[in-house]
Amino acid sequence: MTRRKEGERDRELGEELALELDQMKGMAMKVGQIMSYFDGVLPEPAHRALTILQRGSFAVPFTAMSAVVEEAFGAPPEALFDSFEQAPVASASIGQVYRAIWKGAPVAVKIQYPSVRTTIDADFSRLTALSRLATLGAAVDGPAIVNELRSTFVSECDYLLEGENQNAFAAAFRERDDVFVPRALLERTRATVLTTAWCDGSSFEEFLRAATTAQKQTMAGRLARFAHESFFVLACINADPHPGNYIFPADGRLALIDFGCVRHFDPSFVAAERRLVGVVINDRKHQFEDAMRRTGMLSGTSGFDFDLHWRMLRHQWEPYCSDNYRITSEYVRKAMAFTGPSNPNLRRLRIPPPWVWLQRLQWGLHSVLARLDVDVRYRDVLCDVLERPARPIDSYATGGAIGSVSDQGAPADEGG
């Protein structure tokens, strides 16, 4: 009885938190979205309650959102599109998504909340001050990391940039029959309004309920491949892998949407991580210290516990160290123990800001894969990616060309 009551109370707290964060929008809602899929942060009933934030439910009135469109284009939505539904299909952290028709084809239109930039600037001003205290005496440059977060979060408010990033990913995966990225329609996109082709399909939760074990295994492999190929081959990631950014169309492909939180990496950073990961997953401990030095993350080797760090990275890459592996919530929670204050290495690491986004991608991905709860040959996926030559995503730049609406394929009905 006590356990049931505790579970109900956790659910109630999660629902209350979800409602509050949904109404606050901006960075607060973004944090809630991350909490909704990161295992070990909150009790499971609270996690489930927070999943509502992956689509949102508290909508800003259409009159306010329509004014944003008119300011951006000089005309209201009904003058810009063949038709425009006033009820949003998703209310996310930075904007709301609407369904419309343009040139006879269905499209998704994401409109940014009014004054969201002002809210973000205020939130990060407080975070910068807190980061100085939190990293006092450590090799970690807290303010630098906060500035990196601020820069990336502010870039999420530039929907023109998001559209260009989305089109680059769409071009990079255009010939694939396993994954699909809908294209942005830049003719109907501005800094505060993003239009993409529409994407029909099941949500992550709908797929989870209906899919067979074999279908889950296939999708788990595709999710892992997209993430690792993005980093190790394209040197560019979509660092927001929460379940609301995945659509499962009827044709069996995996559709990926919402490219606001995109991070580009220097090729030398990717090369160092590629070598380090190869050492870890192939159990070449004798090469580990040299591989770590090449990452530039050691502020010095005095007092650094290489054995402890080896164990930490072997756990982080454990799914890729054996032929078959099932990622579980327990596996994700165990990782939290390595990042706690009891780990003496954390004060001896010089953590570059880009590394934060790589970790967010990997642990966010693993938390999503844990929800699928299936055995997958993740090692085969990663080894195949690591054998491919690097080809930075910039080489896929489309120059803003968008083609016709009918050429865009299946698009997105939700996002950040």
Q: What is the pLDDT of residue 132?
A: 45
39, part of any domain? yes
For range 299-322, the mean pLDDT: 91
What pLDDT is stored for residue 405 in this prediction? 44
pLDDT reading at 237 higher than 50 = yes
pLDDT at 2 over 50: no
Quick: pLDDT tens for 313-360. 999 999 999 999 999 989 988 887 777 667 888 778 887 778 878 988
Task: Give the whole-number percent of the chain exceeding pLDDT 70.
Answer: 71
In a domain, 44, yes or no: yes
Per-residue model confidence (pLDDT) at position 144:
53
Q: What is the pLDDT of residue 334?
A: 86
> What is the pLDDT confidence band of residue 363, given thresholds at 50, 70 and 90?
confident
Cα→Cα distances 140→241, 349, 355, 356, Å: 25, 7, 12, 11
Please tell me whether residue 195 adopts helix, strand or coil conformation: strand
Dig out the tokens for 38 from the structure.
Answer: 């990161």
Percentage of the chain exceeding pLDDT 90: 56
Bridge partners, residue 92, by sequence: none
Residues 179-200 pLDDT 10s: 999 999 999 999 999 999 999 9
CA dihedral 323, 385, 217, 373 (to 10 degrees): 70
Residue 44 is predicted with a pLDDT of 57
Give the whole-angstrom CA distance, residue 317 versus residue 180.
Answer: 26
Asked if residue 17 belongs to a domain, the reply is yes
Q: Are strands 95-102 and 105-112 parallel, antiparallel or unpaired?
A: antiparallel
Q: Give the pLDDT of residue 217.
A: 98
Mean pLDDT within 208-237: 97
> In this predicted model, what pLDDT tens digit does every residue of 51-84 receive, in sequence order?
554 454 567 899 999 999 999 999 999 999 999 9
Distance CA 415, CA 97 (A): 7
Residue 90 tokens, joined = 């998703």
In a domain, 29, yes or no: yes
Show the CA angle centred on residue 151, arms to residues 145 and 155, nearest 5°: 145
pLDDT exceeds 60 at position 7: no
What 3-state class would DSSP assign to 208?
helix
3-class DSSP state of 303: coil
pLDDT tens sequence across 255-269: 999 998 899 999 999
CA angle 278, 281, 283 (to 5 degrees): 100
Say whether 107 sits in a helix, a strand or coil.
strand
pLDDT of residue 12: 57
Residue 136 is assigned to a structural domain of this protein: no
Number of separate domains in the chain: 1
CA quadruple 212, 213, 214, 220: dihedral sign: positive
pTM of the entire structure? 0.78
Give the three-class secondary structure for 61.
Answer: coil
Domain ranges, residue 36: 11-54
At residue 119, the pLDDT reads 65
| Angle at CA of residue 363, ends 392 and 261, nearest 5° | 50
What's the pLDDT at 411?
A: 36
Q: Residue 141: what pLDDT?
A: 46
Whether 406 shows a pLDDT value over 50: the answer reads no
pLDDT confidence of residue 393: 95
For residue 101, being part of any structural domain is answered with no
User: What pLDDT is recorded for position 125?
Assistant: 54
Angle at 238 between CA 237 and CA 241, to 5 degrees: 125
Three-state DSSP class for residue 237: strand
Q: What end-to-end distance do the CA atoms of the chain give, in Å?
A: 39
Calculate the dihedral angle through the C-alpha atoms of 73, 75, 80, 82, rounding to the nearest 10 degrees.
160
